[in-house]
Amino acid sequence: MKIERLQLVNFRNFEKTQIVFHPETTIFVGNNGQGKTNLLESIYFLATSRSFRLKHDGELIKHGAEMTRVTGVFEHNRVHKTITSIVHDQGKTILLNKQPVSSIKSMVGEVPVVLFSPLDMFFFDDSPRTRRRFLDIEGSKCDQVYVEALYQYNKILKERNLYLKQDNIDFSYLDTLDSQLVEVAVLIINFRERLIQFLNQKTKTLYEKLAKENQDIEIQYQAMIDLEQSNRKEAVLESIKNTRERDLLYKVTNTGVHRDDLIVYFNEKPVENVASQGQKRLLIIAIKLALLEFIEKTTNKTPILLLDDVFSEIDEGKKRNFITVLPKNIQTIITTTSLDEISTLQSNAMTVYTIKDGSALKGV
């Protein structure tokens, strides 16, 4: 998958901007606060229908404007598609090849991207919600069954939590909701397990190639059930039933895949307790590169790699290591405050844009 062109109208600090991308590497260079990350955000927004920095789409609209429009032209196997996302007071409209899409859900995975941003440095130290969000967002790029299972699970969970707040509980109805939860929870568990097993297999080798140091790295799926149990539907149902009294007391569902976690161990200890910031940075890069491979294997699409300020705290040797592990067929889009930071990466197969005050000028 490649992005060929990007057009922004009233997006963040860009009034009207068009970018033409190099099929291999495009670099956005400029001082902090000029809009480099906004450009990556616009690509991510087209690909996932969400921002990686904001909860509310309306904040993407340039100050003083009534709407924003982001359009991208993408190519995969010589087939082109145009995606347009328009955010306005009434909400959001998405067009695929100029035709409105029936649902945002249907667009998930249409354009796979993998992003590294400074926000990823909180991955290990944040609450389990951050890591579940990672599983949900990244997994959704790979499998529409997973997307639908998440949608149904959250819908049933919301209904169950509302019902638990009622004064008079019909336990047969609660049993029905529990059975519905079980069906989709097992689908979610199975996919998460497959994704985490793949990351676990690949991340150690990638980290060693990046850091040139040998560490015992293990990624574990902390699921709501014992994954060794043969009948997962029974195990999930039993787990839900075992916490029913607590659910009734606190009027909320206390167990389920919405409480799962992903734990990363460094030499048998949680990463957040023993790894340095530099090690964490290289480890999350290794995880993202493993994720890139997983997406490509499961979708037959090569993701676009978005790197936001990834090289500012990495020495030259590790930058060279990064180049050696980066897949050769991937399109990479990079932000940096100085081309000197990425001198190791520079080649003839790249395009550079200078970003200043919400404008993008080709060249340095």
* 335: CATH: 3.40.50.300
pTM over 0.75: yes
Is there a single domain that holds both residue 128 and residue 261? yes
Number of structural domains in the chain: 2
Does residue 130 sit within a domain? yes
Distance between CA atoms of 343 and 337, rounded to whole angstroms?
12
Distance between CA atoms of 361 and 364, rounded to whole angstroms?
8
Q: Which of 299, 319, 347 is the last residue of a domain?
A: 299
Are the C-beta atoms of residues 37 and 344 closer than 8 Å to each other?
no
221: its two tokens: 């799926």
Is there a single domain that holds both residue 175 and residue 141? yes
Does residue 363 sit within a domain? yes
Does residue 117 sit within a domain? no
Distances (CA, A) of 41 to 86, 141, 227: 14, 17, 36
* 202: CATH: 1.20.1050.90
Is there a single domain that holds both residue 167 and residue 279? yes
pLDDT score of 301:
95
pLDDT tens digits along 209-249 = 999 999 999 999 999 999 999 999 999 999 999 999 999 99
CA 326 to chain centre: 19
Is there a single domain that holds both residue 268 and residue 147? yes
Is there a single domain that holds both residue 268 and residue 329? no
Is there a single domain that holds both residue 229 and residue 157? yes
Does residue 168 sit within a domain? yes
pLDDT score of 327:
87
Is there a single domain that holds both residue 194 and residue 222? yes
Q: Which of 284, 299, 314 is the last residue of a domain?
A: 299
What residues are paired with 26 via a beta bridge? 333, 351
**Beta-carbon-side half-sphere exposure of residue 301 (alpha carbons within 13 Å):** 21
- Residue 347 main-chain phi, psi, to 5 deg: -155, 180
Does residue 118 sit within a domain? no
Is there a single domain that holds both residue 273 and residue 178? yes
Does residue 327 sit within a domain? yes
The strand order across the sheet containing 269-270 reads: 217-222, 261-266, 269-270
Does residue 51 sit within a domain? yes
- Residue 84 main-chain phi, psi, to 5 deg: -125, 130
Is there a single domain that holds both residue 175 and residue 240? yes
Q: How many CB atoms lie within 10 A of CB 229?
A: 12
Q: Which of 299, 325, 349 is the last residue of a domain?
A: 299
Sequential pLDDT tens for the chain (364 residues): 999 999 999 999 999 999 999 999 999 999 999 999 999 999 999 999 999 999 899 999 999 999 999 999 999 999 999 999 999 988 999 999 999 998 888 898 899 999 999 999 999 999 999 999 999 999 999 999 999 999 999 999 999 999 999 999 999 999 999 999 999 999 999 999 999 999 999 999 999 999 999 999 999 999 999 999 999 999 999 999 999 999 999 999 999 999 999 999 999 999 999 999 999 999 999 999 999 999 999 999 999 999 999 988 888 899 899 989 988 889 999 999 998 888 877 777 899 999 999 999 998 7
| Three-state DSSP string of 137-166 | HHHHCCCHHHHHHHHHHHHHHHHHHHHHCC
pLDDT score of 330:
94
Distances (CA, A) of 240 to 132, 137, 224, 252: 19, 25, 9, 12
Is residue 3 helix, strand or coil?
strand
Locus of tokens 């919600």: 129
pLDDT score of 263:
97
Q: Identify the domain containing residue 59 by its residue range.
A: 1-112+301-364
Are the C-beta atoms of residues 327 and 206 closer than 8 Å to each other?
no
CA 329 to chain centre: 21
Distance between CA atoms of 295 and 333, rounded to whole angstroms?
18
Is there a single domain that holds both residue 224 and residue 290? yes
Is there a single domain that holds both residue 8 and residue 135? no
Does residue 194 sit within a domain? yes
Is there a single domain that holds both residue 189 and residue 215? yes
43: its two tokens: 């690509």
